[in-house]
Structure 1
Amino acid sequence: MDARGAAAHRARLVAGLSGTVVEVGAGTGACFAHYPAQVTAVLAVEPDPYLRDLATKAATGAPVPVTVVAGTAECLPAEPGTFDAAVCSLVLCSVADPDAALAEIRRVLRPGGQLRFYEHVRSERRLVGLLEDAATPLWSRLAGGCHPNRDTAATIARGGFTITDLDRFGFAPAPLTPRTAHLLGRAELTAAGPGTP
């Protein structure tokens, strides 16, 4: 997956970040190597013990200080207003409640904080989108809760963020797999809060 382009996507995801960062659903720690030197600390939250162990090992070689902890997107182990930025890499498809996850991200960000996101999402092509809708109930059970039909950009906007940069593209993570819709972008806290037009 990384060799086919995901590593470059992750590098774009975190480029230009500075200060303190919370990475939500850190997985194996694949983003750690890409953080710029201006990042002073990363709190990497990962619920799965096996993935968390791999992330802890990856943190030892990161170019910035990374602390890996147990936790979920819906209940981040941090005080309000702690972080300058939040990073979500291929995680909002699989959280149980994306609205609750974004509310938590909003809670732990400082005023003016930003959200960086890299996610696969529902296709804009009608037939493909309908196929993703049909496949989601079974796929989510087989693939760790992954929902291939989520409209993550709309969820982010609904969660009190203003999307300031958005790149939508097709990406096939493995040979012989179809290209699926992906988003890579950034958003800022909306001062007035969730639900503000």
Structure 2
Amino acid sequence: MGKWFPIAYDFFMKPLEKHRFKDIRSNLLAKAKGRVLEIGSGSGINLPHYQHSVEHVVAIDPNEQMLQRSVEAVRQGKVKIQLLNAEAEKLPFADNTFDTVVATLVFCTVADPEKVILEIKRVSKPGARILLFEHVKVSNPFWAKVQDRLTPIWKRVCDGCHLNRNTLGYFKQAGLSMQEVKKYYKGTFITVDCLYQPERKGQT
């Protein structure tokens, strides 16, 4: 990730964050509880939204500059927040650690989404809530093709971001229980509320 990207990201996202995104994040994160893992916490935009149903947030990001930019957001938070430099593909936590896992605008950039989901499942307690806010490939065939064509250039300009990633499909394939899926901006953005319910030994 280039040194310019954290600054540019905040600058270009600010208009969206001040309006619709702020409400989307607040409504989604109101569902978080207990011990929370936030993956790809970036500049800390989510951190002030966690409510007192949350005991502790561990916010990880692979970019040290992003974490430095989130220090002020930690001060504004209502709950205990720990920042940690770590990668989603190799989470430094024991199995069955978290009650809630949060990822917002993260799965478009991770190198291996399936591996990240496996790691999320590993560190989640049975019955843990997984909360997502992502931009995804749209269902409209014309605009989906536009996303496909733009993605190679977009990835180079926006630090690996995939416009056309089918994030919801990855989570469904992983066997997670979809509780609620909401679409915004004609399906360009979605929120997902799902549960981790591991199969019992011997269950088919």
- Give the TM-score taking structure 2 as reference length: 0.87
Q: Distance in 2 between matches of 1:56 and 1:101?
A: 25
CA contact (8 A) 1:120 1:148 kept: yes
Counting only pairs closer than 5 Å after superposition, residues 1-197 of structure 1 correspond to structure 2 as 1-170=16-185, 181-192=188-199
CA contact (8 A) 1:21 1:41 kept: yes
Unaligned runs of 5+ in 1: 171-178
User: Secondary structure of the residue that 1:44 maps to in structure 2?
Assistant: strand
| Shift of residue 180, structure 1, vs aligned partner | 6.5
Q: Distance in 2 between matches of 1:192 and 1:180?
A: 31
- Give the TM-score taking structure 1 as reference length: 0.90
Q: Distance in 2 between matches of 1:22 and 1:105?
A: 9
Q: Distance in 2 between matches of 1:169 and 1:14?
A: 17
Residue type of the alignment partner of 1:88:
A
Moved over 3 A (4+): none
CA RMSD of aligned residues (A): 1.7
Counterpart of 2:12? none
Q: Distance in 1 between matches of 2:116 and 2:85?
A: 15
CA contact (8 A) 2:126 2:197 kept: no
What is the number of residues matched between the two proteins? 187
